[in-house]
């Protein structure tokens, strides 16, 4: 298990991502840009957490 996968905040946002994707998939077609934005935002949070855990502290 990688360091970021041990963090509670990472686990919570993985769950959030799954919920956000379900919500985005139910957004009407006329609002596809909103659905896309929600999916990208949901993905960015755990990716940013993982990236910050991989950086060395000075």
pTM of the model: 0.76
Q: How many domains does the chain have?
A: 1
The torsion defined by the Cα of 48, 11, 26 and 24, in degrees rounded to 10, comes to: -10
The CA-based diameter of the chain, rounded to the nearest angstrom, is: 48
DSSP state of 27: S
Tens digits of residue pLDDT in 7-39? 899 899 999 999 999 999 999 989 999 999 999
**Residue bearing tokens 């077609």:** 29
| pLDDT score of 41 | 95
Domain that residue 50 falls in? 3-54
Q: Which two tokens stand for residue 13?
A: 């946002």
């Amino acid at each position: 298990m990688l360091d970021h996968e041990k963090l509670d905040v990472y686990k919570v946002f993985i769950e959030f991502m799954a919920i956000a994707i379900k919500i985005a998939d139910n957004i009407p077609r006329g609002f596809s840009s909103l659905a896309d934005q929600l999916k990208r935002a949901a993905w960015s949070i755990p990716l940013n957490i993982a990236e910050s855990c991989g950086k060395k502290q000075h």
